[in-house]
Chain A
Amino acid sequence: MDEKEIEQIKVETKKLLEKFSFALSKVKSEESNVERDEDRRKEREGKIGNENFREIMFENSPTKNEEFILAEKKKW
């Protein structure tokens, strides 16, 4: 698609959204957030983290200082 076609789609879409917005402006807003009493998931114990994670990550890291891993995108 060339720039002209893309621009045409943008204009058409904007016009359509305006129409939608006008139609929806007649809707009386109500409170959208509803507290549901059902369908709640039961709380369970979270997963136990890997205690050695920090140590392993530091070992893997090619460049680091005492407190930080120095990472660059696509380099590690």
Chain B
Amino acid sequence: MVKEQQNLTTTEKLKLIKAGKLSAEQNVKTFLEKIEKDDKKGKKINAFIQLNPNALLEAKEVDNKLKKGKPTGKLAGLVIAIKSNINVKGLNASCASKTLENYKAGYDSSVIEKIRKEDGIIIGMTNMDEFACGSSGETSAFGITKNPKALERIPGGSSSGSAASVSADFCDIALGSDTGGSIRNPSSHCGVVGFKPSYGAVSRYGLIDLSMSLDQIGPIGKDVEAVKLMFEVIRGKDERDATTREIHDKPKKTNKIIIGIPKIGTNEEILELVDDKIKAVSKKNGWKNENIELKHIDLGIQTYYPICYVEFFSGTRKFDGRRYGKKIEEVCGREVLRRILGGMEICQSEFSDRYYKKALDAKKIIETEFENAFKKVDCIIIPTVPRLPHKFGEKISFEDMYNYDTLTVLANIAEIPAISVPAGIVKGIPVGLQVMCGRGEDLLVLDVAKEFSQ
């Protein structure tokens, strides 16, 4: 049964559940068996921090609905894993930090309310880089997460457990959050599909923020269809998040696509693989390729981190040890402390003009540059990550660690939708390519990406 289920796409499985040929209970049980075998034992993936003790009960409720012929939701019986910075009532929203180790969420985030309404089964809370500060899955207070496709290497981050849980067949779909690439980066390294919607397309109500002007919740799945299915469920305007808005419902037709290819510096093998893939898919679909120039894309990291530092510093002032858990500065890891100290430095009035306002100016310039580019091309395609994931234990400076985000921070800065789909394998390790479109063109991103994942 396990093997049969593994071979199904998410949409095929959904059809079987709705037709009564596979029960939601069986679906959950199969994943729980796999988690039992390989998460803390066996391969020791360590994708989960906590499992939902009510998952089987919730699955039985969905089965009862189906047996009685009652209408069921778009996610009926599908098993969903949730990143530990998204509030799920009754489960721990620890952000993989000692600060919130025992913090039990008192309410459901907007995205969780929507998943429950559509009969999705939440299987548990996934491991992540502490407070989403990291790109490797190594900074969690609950141990590293392994890459299921290359066990000796990092899975990427910060949604390390979410991407690993999809890659290791521990769930159907997972939710992650993406501030500078945290969905797309681990999806690329783990060989799955990860989607960061346009800023404001999905409500952030109930997300414990890293950087509120850049954060976005999004899905990770085995294929583009699964990711699209989840996006359709969680998207939409929300009164509780004033930055949300509806996105365009009708995407452009994909028969006349112009792909923009900017010049970027990255690992040659990765670049070659992505170029070949673009050429092959374009040829098959009759799409045009055009070289484009984006003058300021090499300033992504310098623009992203000052903004992220300031907003993280501001957002973490509530973790003072009084209302929630422990005082953050007393128990956090190096990277979290670095961002707090950096944010504190930038917040001093004498430095504000030098760092923060400059970064905001650069953000505006990059945003405008992308807007102008999308007047000439329909989408831009680049590799997701400029290098292969390093091995555990390998010495890597924090600056090199930041450079993992070079190509993903751009979409957050420009507030546009971006997706990572598997492009192929380099030295036995999965490599992803990234499709980006104009703000609000989320459905076009998904449609174009679908052609690359076939």
**A residues engaging B (CB < 8 A)?**
1, 5-6, 9-10, 12-14, 16-17, 19-21, 23-25, 27-30, 32, 34, 39, 41
Q: What is the distance, in angstroms, from A42's C-beta to the closest C-beta of chain B?
A: 12
Chain B residues within an 8 Å CB radius of A34 = 364
B306: Cβ under 8 A from any A Cβ? yes
Most buried by B among A1, A14, A27, A30: A27
A1 touches B337 (CB 8 A): yes
Q: State the majority secondary structure of interface residues on A.
A: helix
Whole-angstrom CA separation of A71 from B221 in the bound complex = 52
User: B399's contact among A5, A16, A24, A41, by CB below 8 Å, is which?
Assistant: A16
Report the nearest A residue to B237, measured CB to CB. A41
Give the 4 A-B CB pairs with smallest separation, nearest first: A24-B358, A20-B302, A23-B302, A13-B342
Whole-angstrom CA separation of A62 from B248 in the bound complex = 55
- Known contacts being A27-B358, A39-B245, is A17 close to B342, with CB within 8 Å? yes
Whole-angstrom CA separation of A24 from B351 in the bound complex = 13
B334: Cβ under 8 A from any A Cβ? yes
Q: State the majority secondary structure of interface residues on B.
A: helix
A41 touches B360 (CB 8 A): no
Chain A residues within an 8 Å CB radius of B299 = 23-24, 27
Chain B residues within an 8 Å CB radius of A28 = 365
- Known contacts being A29-B361, A41-B242, is A24 close to B341, with CB within 8 Å? no
Chain A residues within an 8 Å CB radius of B354 = 21
User: B338's contact among A13, A21, A24, by CB below 8 Å, is which?
Assistant: A13
**Contacts of B327-358 to chain A: CB distance below 8 A:** 334, 337-338, 341-342, 345-346, 354-355, 357-358
A9 touches B306 (CB 8 A): no
B365 touches A27 (CB 8 A): yes
A30 touches B364 (CB 8 A): yes
Whole-angstrom CA separation of A27 from B303 in the bound complex = 10
Chain B residues within an 8 Å CB radius of A13 = 338, 341-342, 345
A24 touches B303 (CB 8 A): yes
Whole-angstrom CA separation of A21 from B309 in the bound complex = 14
Whole-angstrom CA separation of A21 from B398 in the bound complex = 17
- Known contacts being A17-B355, A20-B355, A27-B361, is A10 close to B302, with CB within 8 Å? no
B231: Cβ under 8 A from any A Cβ? no
Chain A residues within an 8 Å CB radius of B342 = 13, 16-17
A30 touches B345 (CB 8 A): no
28 example contacts (A-B, Cβ-Cβ < 8 A) are as follows A6-B337, A6-B341, A9-B338, A10-B341, A13-B342, A13-B345, A16-B305, A16-B342, A16-B398, A17-B306, A17-B345, A17-B355, A20-B305, A20-B306, A20-B359, A21-B355, A21-B358, A24-B299, A24-B303, A24-B361, A24-B362, A25-B358, A27-B358, A30-B365, A32-B357, A32-B360, A32-B364, A41-B242
**B residues engaging A (CB < 8 A)?**
242, 245, 296, 299, 301-303, 305-306, 334, 337-338, 341-342, 345-346, 354-355, 357-362, 364-365, 398-399
Chain B residues within an 8 Å CB radius of A27 = 296, 299, 358, 361-362, 365
Q: What is the distance, in angstroms, from B99's C-beta to the closest C-beta of chain A?
A: 14
A12 touches B296 (CB 8 A): no
Report the nearest B residue to A8, measured CB to CB. B334
Chain A residues within an 8 Å CB radius of B360 = 32
User: B361's contact among A5, A21, A32, by CB below 8 Å, is which?
Assistant: A32
B337 touches A12 (CB 8 A): no
Chain A residues within an 8 Å CB radius of B306 = 17, 20, 24
Whole-angstrom CA separation of A16 from B398 in the bound complex = 10
Chain B residues within an 8 Å CB radius of A24 = 299, 302-303, 306, 355, 358-359, 361-362
Most buried by A among B302, B334, B345, B346: B302
Whole-angstrom CA separation of A32 from B367 in the bound complex = 11
Chain A residues within an 8 Å CB radius of B242 = 41
Most buried by B among A9, A23, A24, A28: A24
Whole-angstrom CA separation of A10 from B242 in the bound complex = 35
Chain B residues within an 8 Å CB radius of A10 = 341
Report the nearest B residue to A14, measured CB to CB. B345
Whole-angstrom CA separation of A23 from B337 in the bound complex = 24
Whole-angstrom CA separation of A34 from B360 in the bound complex = 13
B341 touches A9 (CB 8 A): yes
Whole-angstrom CA separation of A41 from B242 in the bound complex = 9
Q: What is the distance, in angstroms, from B244's C-beta to the closest C-beta of chain A?
A: 10
Report the nearest B residue to A15, measured CB to CB. B399
Q: What is the distance, in angstroms, from B318's C-beta to the closest C-beta of chain A?
A: 17
Chain B residues within an 8 Å CB radius of A32 = 357, 360-361, 364
